[in-house]
Amino acid sequence: MVRKCLKEKVVIFPEQSTESYVQLHANETMDFPGITVCLRFYTDESSKSQSLFSLATPSEPNDFTISYSPLNLYKLQVHGANAEFNGLPFKLNRWNSICATWNSVSGFSQVFVDEVPSVQKAVAVKNSFKGDSKIVLGQSYKSYANEDFRQDLAFTGFITDVHVYKEVLTPRLIKNFMEAKIPFKQGDYINWRNLKHTVAGSAAVEPRQHVTFYTNQEGN
């Protein structure tokens, strides 16, 4: 499988289907005490919750997941435990930038959306991320063993700039990602600009549309 740079590219999910997804393939097994996942998403779905990112391991299909609902509610699952974050921004037919973090030392999780930080919440046992991972965009794993996803959380819209870090990023580094004005830190576990991936179903990787894209990204 060849690595590709997906700068200036977006993943399109044109229909709500468990058959449409993009898997991201890491080069190494996990062994890190914290995690940050950053991405941007764009949708017109206003009536249901949708999954943005799902990381599964052999011991837990919901080892780290990010989902949202149109009621300004974002949900993380860490090692199978839930944390909900209310009142953060959510825009229909606009780009939303999100970063989610979790620290195994403190057990604290936090979500940043368009530079607005949530409170920190304790979630999950204080175990590091270890072992082989399976990562999917636009779906939520039901099991690690096969590509079995939850129909009720299937995503429709665009996703781009997905980066996974083996640490909790500082607020300054997260701000750089949100603003996208200067070269931001690239993911050291999953890097959108040096990525192995598999596309399935009606999902597709296409050039971004400049007329609708976040305008302050033009310099990158």
> Cα separations (Å) of 80 from 76, 98, 123, 195, 211?
9, 20, 9, 26, 39
pLDDT in tens, 71-121: 889 999 999 999 999 999 999 999 999 999 999 999 999 999 998 999 999
pLDDT in tens, 121-176: 999 888 999 999 999 999 999 888 777 798 889 999 999 999 999 999 999 999 99
Q: Give the Cα separation of 135 and 56 in Å (integer).
A: 6
pLDDT in tens, 17-45: 999 999 999 989 999 999 999 999 999 99
- Number of other CB atoms surrounding residue 53 within 10 Å: 27
Domains and CATH numbers, the chain: 9-214 (2.60.120.200)
CB 108 within 8 A of CB 119: no
Q: What is the pTM of this model?
A: 0.92
